[in-house]
Amino acid sequence: MNKLFFSVVSLLAFTSCASEYKIEGSSSVSRLDGKMLFVKVPSGDRMLSIDSAEVIHGMFKMEGITDSTSMASLYMDDESIMPFVIEKGKISISIDNARIVVTGTPLNDRLYDFVGKKTSLDDRAYELERQES
């Protein structure tokens, strides 16, 4: 009886540490249709694939369990498309020809707020350089 109790308590403790994530994505980029997308996380000196989905009619979905919040990248083949944060919650990814946006969880919202501001500054710097030329 004690072994059973210990096993149940251990199982509950283990699963309570894990967090569910759900990724829902959309793309208006036609070349992505039919392609496989992979979520990869750093593992030592390489990137480890932890999830994948096929883009069908511009939509893709992935879900899983992670034991901690971590940085990840969305890949198509061996090409990194974008960074994002794997964390508990529903992560929305929008890909079009002009930009890529990830929203829905606190860290991704902050990351892409920063990316948007950096892109705006880069655009301004480019315009200033062009005006000086």
The percent of residues in the chain predicted with pLDDT above 70, rounded, is: 87
pLDDT band for 5, please (50, 70, 90 cuts): very low
User: What pTM was computed for the model?
Assistant: 0.78
Rounded distance, CA 1 to CA 104, Å? 44
Burial grade of 68 (CB within 10 A; 0-12, 13-18, 19 or more): exposed
Report d(CA 82, CA 75) in Å as an integer: 7
> Residue 46 burial by CB count (10 A; 0-12/13-18/19+): exposed, middle or buried?
exposed
- Mean pLDDT on 53-61: 97
Distance of CA 45 to the CA centre of its chain: 20
Kindly state the percentage of the chain with pLDDT values over 90: 79
Averaged pLDDT, 43-62: 96
Residue 49: closest CA among 70, 83, 74, 30: 74
Q: Which amino acid does the sequence have at 77? A: D
Please identify which residue in the block is written with the tokens 């005006």: 131
Q: Which domains are present in the chain?
A: 19-132 (2.60.40)
